[in-house]
Structure 1
Amino acid sequence: MNRMIYETDRRCVDELRMDLHTFSKLCSMLRATGRLHDTRNVSVDEMVAVFLNVLAHHKKNRVIQNDFYRSGETISRYFNAVLEAVLCLQNELLKTPEPVHENSTDERWKWFKNCLGALDETYIRLHVPEVDKPRYRTRKNEIATNVLGGSAADSRILRDAISRRHGLRVSRGNYYLVDAGYPNGEGFLAPRKMTIDPEENELNEDIYNQEEDDVITSIDSSEEWAVWRANLADHMFNEWRENRNPR
C-alpha cells in the first residue's frame, strides 16, 4: 500500500485515477456509511484501493492478488463490500432533478413542463494535470469524462435501472427526454419518425406539378415548326437570289 498509493501523488493518480487527498476523502465518506470498517488484516483504505484499482485498469482478480498479496476470495469479498458502500452514497452525490414548473414563463422551457431532464451519457468534471487536459476537453471546452461512453447500449442501461428493486422511478405526470436509442414509453419521451400527412403530400404534389407546367424543360418536334422553318428558309433564299441578280 505504501509503495502503490502513499508514495507520491503522481503514483496514486496512476494507480487509482485520483490524488491522495481525494482518495482519503472518499475513504472517510465510505466509513461514514457504516458499511466499511477496518478488520484485523485489511484496512478500509486497502479495500477502497483494491476497488479503484480494478475499475481504473480493468484488472482481473488474479492480477490484483499479486499486487496486494491477498487471496482471490478476499479480493472478491471486499470489492463487493466497497461497491455496496459506494451505492449508498447516491443520496449525497446525486441530486434529484426538479421538473419544469407548470407556470414557467422561460421561453427555453415552456414546451417542457413536467420534464425532469434528459437521459444520456453523463459528463463529470475532472481535475487533471495540464498535460492531460487536451484528452478530456469537451466540445463545450470543459475538462470532463463521459461515464457511459461506449459501455453498453442505451436501452440496456435504462432497462437495468428500471428493473432494480430500488431503481429508477418516474413519478406520474413527469418524464425524461431520451434520444432515439431509448424506448419510447411512460415516463420517457423519445423522438419518432414523422409520417407524412396524405393531404399535405397531395397538396405538395399539386404545387410541384403546377410549377412544372410553368417551366419549359424541352421542346417537342412538330409539323408546324418544320413548315415555318421551311418557309423562312425559302424567303431568305429568294431575297439573296434577288440581291445577286438585280434586274
Structure 2
Amino acid sequence: MERCPVHRRKLAVLAISAYFELLLNLIKLIIQYYKELEYEDVQVLEHVTPWETPIARQQVRNSFMACITSHGDISNTMLIRMSCKSFEKLCNLLRDRGGLRCSWNMEIDEMVAIFLYTIAHNEKNRQNQITFRRSGETISRVIKVVLNSVLKLHPILLRKPKPVLEDSEDPKWKHFKNCLGAVDGTIVEVRTTKDRQARYRTRKGTIGMNVLGVCNQNLEFIYVLTGWEESAHDGRVLRDALARPNGLKVPRGYYYLCDAGYSNCQGFLAPYRGQRYHLKEWGRNRPKTPEEIFNMRHATARNIIERVFGILKMRWAILRDTTWFSTRMVAKIVNACCLLHNFIRGEVGADVFERVYEDEDPSTEPIIDDDELITLIQPTLEWTQFRQQLAQEMWASRTYYAN
C-alpha cells in the first residue's frame, strides 16, 4: 500500500488545525455574548444599522422598556397612553383573564407595549422594527395576539348601563329620568378592495367604516358595533345592534338620547325636527317654546357621546387616519380602543385627554330588569306624547330662561 505524500499530510494537518481554531473562536464569541447580556448598565444606542449585533438590539429593547417602567407617568402616558401602574395592571389582566402568554424570547410587558405604541401613534410595521428591534413578522404576530387578548376582556371592561335617578341633581341629566346614556355613530377611515369602495365611501369622498357607540354619563362605553359600511343608514345600524343575540339591550321604561338621524321611538329619545338644536346655534338667545328648551337640554346632555368619540380619537391616533390593516382588523382595533378607554377611565379617572368627572355612588343604583327588552325601532303615538310631556315639564320648570 502506497503511503500519502508528505505535502498532502501537511495540508491535512493545517486544515484540521484551522478548523479547531475556528471552532474555538466561535465558542469564545458565544461566551462573550452571554456575559454581555448580563451587563445591567444599558445605554441608549442611536442610529444603529440593520446589521447590528444581537447584543445591541437587546440593549435598545431594554432601553425602551426602561422608559416605560421607570421614567414616570408623564412620559409613559405620551408613549402608551397610560401610567406605569396602569400598564402593569393591564399586563396582569391580559395574562390572567385574556390568556396572553409570553414567548421564548419576548415577555408580556414588551408585547403589550408594542401593541399600545402602535395604536397610540399609528406606527407602521417598518417603523416598529426600528423602534423595538424586532422583525416585521414578529411585530405583526404580536399585535394580533395582544389584540385578541384585549377583546376577551369585553365582559370586564364594558360598563353596565346606569339610569338617571329620580333625585339626580346633575344639571345636564336631572330632566331625563331613567335615561341610560347617549347613542351616536362616527366614521373611522379604512382601506378596502376596489369593488367595495362605493359602499364605504363617505360624503367627503374618503373610505370609512360606520361605528355605533353607546356611552353612559361618565364617558364610558356601554356598547360598540363596528363593521358596517359608511353608506348604511344610522337607523339600520341601530336595528342590527338590537337584533344581535349579544347586542344592545334596552329595557322597557328606559331610553337613550340620540340625534335627529334616528327615529323618535320607544327606547330612543330624539330631538324635535325643524327647531334649533346644536349648541353653537343658540349663542345668547333664549328658548322661546317648549320644543326649543327641550332641544337645548337634549343637546347639552347628548353631547357626551360626541366628547367620548373626540377623546377616543385624540388618545388613539390609529383611529384618526387610514391604516394598512384590513377592514376586519380595523373593526377589532376599534373595539379594543374602546375597551382600553374604559380601562383608563377606571384606573386613572381623567388624564391629559379629558377632564375630571365624579363617579356616582354605586350603592344607590337600582337594578334594571332585563326581562322585557326593546327589539324594534318603530315610532309610536305614546312615545311622541312622552316627549311632548317632557318638553312641557321643562318649559314649566324653567327658571334661568324665564322672561
TM normalised by structure 2 equals 0.34
Q: Distance in 1 between the 2:146 and 2:245 partners?
A: 19
Name the amino acid aligned to 1:2: N
Name the amino acid aligned to 2:92: S
Query: Which of residues 62, 80, 85 is equivalent to 2:149?
Result: 85
Write out aligned runs for 1:61-210 (5 A).
61-100=125-164, 104=166, 112-119=176-183, 159=237, 162=241, 166-180=246-260, 184=264, 187-194=267-274
Kindly tell me: are residues 14 and 115 of structure 1, through their superposed partners in 2, closer, same or farther at Cα, counting changes over 3 Å? closer
Following TM superposition, by how much is the alpha carbon of 1:146 offset from its aligned partner in structure 2, in angstroms?
10
- 1:10-49 C-alpha deviation (Å, 9 max, x unpaired): 5433322333222112111111114201111222111110
Following TM superposition, by how much is the alpha carbon of 1:95 offset from its aligned partner in structure 2, in angstroms?
2.6
2:96 aligns with: 32
Name the amino acid aligned to 1:6: A
Q: CA RMSD in A?
A: 4.0
2:62 aligns with: 2
- 1:162-218 C-alpha deviation (Å, 9 max, x unpaired): 2877443333453211233556555332213158xxxxxxxxxxxxxxxxxxxxxxx
Write out aligned runs for 1:37-52 (5 A).
37-52=101-116
Structure 2: gaps of 5 or more residues: 1-60, 186-217, 222-229, 276-403
Structure 1: gaps of 5 or more residues: 122-143, 148-152, 196-247
- 1:89-147 C-alpha deviation (Å, 9 max, x unpaired): 3433333123357xx466877864543222369xxxxxxxxxxxxxxxxxxxxxx9999
Q: Distance in 1 between the 2:220 and 2:252 partners?
A: 30
Kindly tell me: are residues 100 and 23 of structure 1, through their superposed partners in 2, closer, same or farther at Cα, counting changes over 3 Å? closer
Q: Distance in 1 between the 2:135 and 2:100 partners?
A: 19
Q: Distance in 1 between the 2:77 and 2:163 partners?
A: 38
Q: Larger RCO: Structure 1 or Structure 2 (Cα < 8 Å, ≥ 6 residues apart)?
A: 2
Name the amino acid aligned to 2:97: T
1:14 aligns with: 78
Structure 1 or 2, whichever has the larger Rg, is 1
2:181 counterpart SS class: strand
Kindly tell me: are residues 24 and 66 of structure 1, through their superposed partners in 2, closer, same or farther at Cα, counting changes over 3 Å? same
- 1:56-96 C-alpha deviation (Å, 9 max, x unpaired): 21111221122222233322222122223223334333331
Kindly tell me: are residues 21 and 113 of structure 1, through their superposed partners in 2, closer, same or farther at Cα, counting changes over 3 Å? closer
Contact 1:5 1:12 in 2 (8 A): no
Q: Distance in 2 between the 1:97 and 1:55 partners?
A: 27
Q: Identity of aligned pairs, percent? A: 45
Contact 1:27 1:45 in 2 (8 A): yes
Q: Distance in 2 between the 1:176 and 1:75 partners?
A: 41
1:45 counterpart SS class: helix
Q: Distance in 2 between the 1:111 and 1:145 partners?
A: 19
Q: Distance in 2 between the 1:15 and 1:118 partners?
A: 31
Q: Distance in 1 between the 2:83 and 2:110 partners?
A: 15
Q: Distance in 2 between the 1:172 and 1:120 partners?
A: 20
Name the amino acid aligned to 2:237: R
1:176 counterpart SS class: strand
